[in-house]
Amino acid sequence: MTSYEDLAKRLGVNLDTETLRLALTHRSYAYEHGGCPHNERLEFLGDSVLGLSITNLLYRSFPDRSEGELAKLRAAVVSSKALARVARAIDLGEHILLGEGEIKTAGRDKTSILADTMEAIFGAVYLSLGFVEAEALVLRLVAPLLDDKDAIGAGMDWKTVIQEHAAQAGMGAVVYVVEGEGPDHQRTFTAEVLIGGTAYGTGTGRSKKEAERAAAEHAWERLDPERRA
C-alpha cells in the first residue's frame, strides 16, 4: 500500500492518488519543482465546504443558540488551531509535500500548514466525490471537536467574547494590564483584565497577546453561567 493509499484509507475516502497528491502539495514544494500545481486553490474551495458543513451542523444541533453564539462556536471549530489538531490526529504532516526550507523549520508540524492542507483535502473530496462525501468527511473529523472543551477553547477569540459581553451587559471599559519579566529571548508576560475597573482574570504567556488571551479566557470562566454551573 502506498503512502497516499494509506492516508486515503485513514480518511475513509476513495480519493484518487493524483488529486490527493495535489491536495498535499504545499507551494514551497511547487516552487522548488518547476512551479508544479499546488494546493492553494483546493484550500480556497475546502474552506467553503468546511464552513457550510459546520454551519449546517450547528444550526440543526443548537436550536436555542443565538446567531452570535453559533458564530463563535463555528469560528472555534474551523480555526487553524482546531484543524491542525485534527491533522495531527491522523498524522497528516508526514504526507505533506514541502520544500527543503519548510522541512528544515519543522513545517510538517506548523499549525498554518496543517490547517491549510486539511482544508485542501476537504476541497479535493468535494471536487472528486461531491458535497455529500465532503460533508461526511468534515463531520467525521471536525464535528467531534464540539464536545472537546480544550479544542473549542483553543480556537475561541476570548478577547472578543469578553469585549462583546462587557458592552452588552454595560459593565464598563475592558482594560488589560500587562507586565513582562525575564531576559528578552525568554520573556514571560502576565496580564490582568479589568472590566469597569474590577479585575476578572489573569493569564500568562510568551507574548503579550498570548497573556491577554489567557486572561480573557480566565475572566470568561467567571462570567459565563454555563461554566459556573
Instruction: Fill in the amino acid letter for 155.
Output: G
Neighbour count for residue 223 (Cβ, 10 Å): 18
pTM of the model: 0.71
Strands of the sheet containing 198-205, edge to edge, are 174-181, 188-195, 198-205
Catalytic residue, candidates 102, 119, 135, 217: 119
Report the DSSP beta bridge partners of residue 178: 191
Residue 204 dihedral angles phi and psi, to the nearest 5°: -125, 160
Q: What is the dihedral of CA 55, 57, 60, 64, to 10 degrees?
A: -70
Of the candidates 219, 178, 213, 174, the one whose C-alpha atom is nearest the C-alpha of residue 197 is 174
Binding residues: 43, 116, 119
Tens of pLDDT, residues 70-107: 888 888 888 888 899 999 999 999 999 999 989 998 88
**Chain centroid to CA 153:** 10
Helices (H) and strands (E) in the chain, counts: 13, 3
Residue 188 dihedral angles phi and psi, to the nearest 5°: -120, 135
Catalytic residue, candidates 47, 192, 212, 217: 47
Of the candidates 30, 25, 35, the one whose C-alpha atom is nearest the C-alpha of residue 95 is 25
Binding residues for Mg(2+): 43, 116, 119
Tell me the average confidence (pLDDT) per consecutive run of 10 residues in the chain, 229 residues long.
78 91 95 92 96 94 85 84 91 94 90 94 96 96 81 68 83 93 85 94 87 86 59
Specify the pLDDT at position 227: 44
Decide if 119 is catalytic: yes
Specify the pLDDT at position 149: 66
Please tell me the distance from the alpha carbon of residue 56 to that of residue 148, in angstroms, as a whole number.
19
Specify the pLDDT at position 167: 86
Specify the pLDDT at position 97: 95
Cell reading at 123: 476541497
